[in-house]
Structure 1
């Protein structure tokens, strides 16, 4: 179990500069060395501080992972909250959001995500953190899809559940390929993913007469 307080900062004010520096350093170390091999001393050295100072901010590697997860969850939630029907096509905004997280983020993010997913299969606390991020993404996607349906941008009879599941699985696969393929062309793959998303939105419909769904 993680300690009750893993971060020494006020959530209402956000992360301090020192927390950001440590989390950024830890991401580089974990991606380079692997979560289990990396040590707190490695993270401290990467962050340019003493191990003793590091422990003032994070009590363990698990606490650092928790900090990474919460930072990512908060950023994702803020990005979804910024989607605005008055700002133009919600699908275009959703695609731009997706490209920021799938394409623009460094490959290290995808490598760490795979390590965390693997750990979540045997660590209940890691599984809980992953579920928290997943819930944030699903809620944001569901709200965006509902808004696009209300505006007529997506079919009113779109099968939201299946559509969101398909997007989620495609994004997970994207992260996996980005993590394991050093020469992965994220921009080209994103073109394929979002073209598929838009195509699915037109055919993944609820049955209109009691027959099977499309």
Structure 2
């Protein structure tokens, strides 16, 4: 019997996850059955169950990929020297997430998938632990970047670095929620909006305000 290559195994696993992601984005986790996943992926039950024993395992695999994609996009964008300002960094992170994420070319579908993953963490302790781990790491990375900005003279001393980190993470989460609910939102919107907000002057006279 010919040995199946790792590339073939990886491609088949990818086929299953992409098909499931399309179903979940369209109908939600709980309204999607394994039969739906089989039809969408075009594979037999035996082929799918070779990789995943249940729908919950597929959900967990998609969630892990989504969390990993966000962390990787952030790490890549933040590795630039000197680091980009927050508006540019968030724009790069969101662009990388939506450009690489399955289902290909459908940003709103992937945003809906991310929001569903967040919701699923409220009932799934394993997913909640994964999300919390990623969130904690992101907060630390952002706080460290705030220190770098201050050392470079790009940001004045003042608010706790963790407060800045949490605010920027919330901005990214809010953009993803907007994309999920309404679509038609490009990461450049966040970049332009943040740039405008962070360059506001607070030294104007009361008459000019």
- The alignment's TM-score, normalised by the length of structure 1, stands at 0.71
Cα separation, partners in 2 of 1:118 and 1:108, compared to 1, 3 Å: same
- Higher mean displacement: 129-138 or 22-31: 129-138
Instruction: Please state how far the C-alpha of 1:116 moved relative to its aligned partner.
Output: 2.2
Flag structure 1 segments of 5+ consecutive residues without an equivalent: 1-9, 204-214
Partner of 2:142: 141
Counterpart for residue 32 of structure 1: 26
Given candidates 44, 59, 64, the residue that maps to 2:53 is 59
Change in Cα spacing, 1:189 to 1:88, as seen in structure 2 (3 Å) is: closer
For 2:52 and 2:141, the matched residues in 1 are separated by: 29
Q: Gapped runs of 5+ residues in structure 2?
A: 1-5, 102-106, 203-209
Number of the residue aligned with 2:120: 119
CA deviation after TM superposition for structure 1 residue 35, in Å: 0.7
Three-state SS of the structure 1 residue aligned to 2:154 is coil
Shift of 1:54: 0.7
Q: How far apart are the structure 1 equivalents of 2:161 and 2:188?
A: 26
Count residues in correspondence: 188
Q: Secondary structure at the match of 1:185?
A: coil
Verify: 1:17 aligned to 2:11, yes or no: yes
Distance 2:20 2:196 in 1: 34
Change in CA separation of 1:171 and 1:80 when aligned onto 2, cut-off 3 Å: closer
**Corresponding residue number in structure 2 for 1:169:** 170
Question: 2:43 matched to 1:49?
Answer: yes
Which residue number in structure 1 is paired with residue 95 of structure 2?
100
Whole-angstrom CA distance in 1 between matches of 2:65 and 2:192? 28
1:168-207 → structure 2 map (5 Å cutoff): 168-182=169-183, 184-187=184-187, 189-191=189-191, 193-195=193-195, 198=198
Go from structure 1 to structure 2 and tell me whether the alpha carbon gap of 1:103 and 1:78 turns closer, same or farther (over 3 Å shift): closer
- Equivalent in 78, 84, 89 of residue 79 of structure 2: 84
Do structure 1's residue 70 and structure 2's residue 64 form an aligned pair? Answer: yes
Between the aligned partners of 1:92 and 1:166, the Cα distance in structure 2 is 12
Deviations 1:15-41 (A, max 9, x none): 923222222221111011211011122
TM-score when normalising by structure 2: 0.73
- 4+ residue stretches of structure 1 with deviation over 3 A? 87-93, 101-105, 186-189, 196-200
